Amino acid sequence: MKKHLLCIALLFVIGLQTRAQEDPYQWLEEVDSPKSLAFVKAQNKITFDKLSQLTAYDSIYKTSLDIYNSKDRIAYPTVYGEFVYNFWKDEANQRGIWRRSPKTAYLEGKPAWETLLDIDEIAKKDSVKWVYKGASGLYPNYDRFMIQLSKGGGDAAVIKEFDVNTKEFIEDGFYIPESKGGVSYIDANTLIVSSNFGEGSMTTSGYPKQVKLWKRGTPLKDAQLLYDGEATDVSCGGSAVRDGTTSYTWITRYMTFYTSHTFVWINDQLKKLTLPEDATISGILHNQLILNLKSDWNVHDNTYQQGAIVSLNFTDLLADKISVKLILQPDEFSSVSDVYITKNKLLVNLLNNVNGELYVYSFHNEAWEKSRIAAPAYGTISIIDIDEFSDNFFFDFENFIIPSTLFLANAADGTFGSVKSRKAYFDGSKYEVQQIMVASKDGTMVPYFVVAAKNMKYDGTNPTLLYGYGGFEVSLGPFYSASFGTSWLEKGGVFVLANIRGGGEYGPKWHQAGLKEKRQNVFDDFHAVAQNLISKKITSPKHLGIMGGSNGGLLMGVAFTQRPDLYNAVVCQVPLLDMKRYSKLLAGASWMGEYGNPDIPEEWEYIKAYSPYHNLKEGADYPEVFFYTSTRDDRVHPGHARKMVAKMSAMGYPVFYYENVEGGHAGASTNEQSAKLSAMTFSYLRMKLGS
């Protein structure tokens, strides 16, 4: 027996040694261990001491903080009944206040703000670095809300019931302990909840797999279980979905990031909807379920093509009958960015060659009719919020040189007017915007935007910052950034936005061209943009820097390990980098639909070909990279950046590393933290690229 135990112990030690040899820096995945935090503290001090001493730092910090704290910012609205709600941070409210104004006063340009919740105050009272993560209200009066508060900015949140009339959390009201998940009111005394209910209730991705119906006055543990998914699912959640005054309770099971099953809880049982697994639902209008197709759908000898918006008769669907109507079929140059529903209309925000267009669809006589709202052109349109009791809605327009303007529009008659414009922090008339197409390695034409001074010289000396993302069907459109304008453009810099594959700029096909074994297309597109900037003599490798975060941080890691000859500066923010272990860290398993499963040998073959952590080489001429992450990021594990820095340092490569102690995946929780990040980032870029 002793010999048997000794063998087991020996095998265990050998296993530990083998893992240590495979990854000697895995200990840095222990987020809050004293050893890990000592590493972080030492790296932070080195980086901050150096970057904060650069000539540009103080002025960038002050300007950035003034921008973040400015009273001239737009107070973006969320409409509940007769009030407009807004979350606001400034110099006096560093963690922010949740407030509201009567809708009429807001629309007259004189909002009468009433503070409902002071996050700084409750953070001080509780001695917790609370971060506001959102609120969901009780229809139709919206006198009660479920408030989400995160400790340090992570995705996991505590959810507490709040009375907006008394401005107090409700004693003995609904309370859900810290967890990832969600909640929605079914009625005044019933919630549908997805949360960590204890052992066996969470997926391997770290999200809830159970959905429960919870009655007021009963313990959460006794809530009625409506659905229990699989541990290998990404997540399961529930919500109340309304078609006018009719409400449906439904549950969505996400098997992968891009596939799901939807169920309706009706007559005390679950009814599964017969829908394509990869389609996304936008809601119900006049008994028409709105669906966005991610692949071709064959129904009754008709094929509805990938990227289309269609509607289905919902009562028919509940009776297992499929009645489909085509709403919109984008062409090869366009894609659907957003779909929203007002009281009577369907809003479609369309991207046409990466510029926004706004359309209204009306359902009459069993057919959809289209009209266009004459919104500003050549920029990004964002639908901010809708008034569910009318056809009014708010939308925002911006581009690289025109600040954001908030508009109030009416979907019924197409009229709209400006509510408020953001202050211009730099003179946009000095700059011009070009949209350029370049052939990628496989011949695919890839667009990118260049923002530069009108008198820019094509001599290869312009400090240029290239930004990219390329994943999860996320589209990057023209945007106005006061920080980029004041800290980069006004200092002689050029800004470039790459619309590479993996994004959604040209619909599902553009995204799917960068999935899994096709991932190298994304990186080739980015390299092609960089090379084109150099060949056009807009810049040169000495003056070219790149920036990206999250999946864009992975892009940065691949860019400098595959083509270090192209770049002299890299800003790699909250990144994925170790693609062997990403699926075992925090929410990583949920992204296997995007990247593949590294535990399957044939999938690891294509993943390891680009995994930045595994493709570091001795003796390469890498740029001096600036890595930035957050200790409290519970989506992309800070261990990715930590380990990359440790490995590069051991190889003798100089790097910059800063890890904010809070902020979650956003990287910062307060305006001061955001300004500090901005100052370090642009000081680094100007030092490396010569601006």
Please give the structure tokens belonging to residue 143: 């006198």
CA distances to 60, 428, 531, 658, 669 from 64, rounded to whole Å, are 6, 18, 31, 18, 15
End-to-end CA distance of the chain: 71
Instruction: Give the Cα-Cα-Cα angle 551, 553, 557 (nearest 5 degrees).
Output: 120
User: Which residues make Cβ contacts (< 8 Å) with residue 284, sequence separation at least 6?
Assistant: 241, 242, 243, 248, 290, 314, 341
Tally of CB atoms within 10 A around 44:
15
Helix, strand and coil content of the chain, in percent to the nearest 5, comes to 25, 35, 40
550 among known catalytic residues: yes
Residues 243, 251 contacting (CB under 8 angstroms): no
Q: Which of 36, 440, 483, 550 is catalytic?
A: 550
Amino acid at 228: D
Most distant CA pair in the chain, distance: 84
DSSP string, 48-101: HHHHTTSTTHHHHHHHHHHHHH-TTS----EEETTEEEEEE--SS-SS-EEEEE
Please give the structure tokens belonging to residue 463: 């400090």
> 59, exposed or middle or buried, with CB in 10 Å at 0-12, 13-18, 19+?
middle
665 among known catalytic residues: yes
CA distance linking residue 377 with residue 507, whole number of Å: 20
- Kind of pairing, strands 288-292 and 309-313? antiparallel
CA distance linking residue 512 with residue 514, whole number of Å: 5
Taking only Cα atoms into account, the Rg of the chain, rounded to an integer number of angstroms, comes to 26
Beta strands in 524-596 (DSSP E): 544-549, 569-573
Q: Before 140, cis peptide (omega within 30)?
A: yes
Q: Which of 665, 669, 678, 683 is catalytic?
A: 665
CA distance linking residue 308 with residue 637, whole number of Å: 36
Residues 447, 437 contacting (CB under 8 angstroms): yes
Tally of CB atoms within 10 A around 529:
25
Name the CA dihedral angle for 534, 538, 544, 545, rounded to a multiple of 10 degrees. Answer: -120
Q: With the C-alpha atoms ordered 511, 471, 293, 344, is the resulting torsion angle positive or negative?
A: negative
Which residues are catalytic, by number? 550, 665
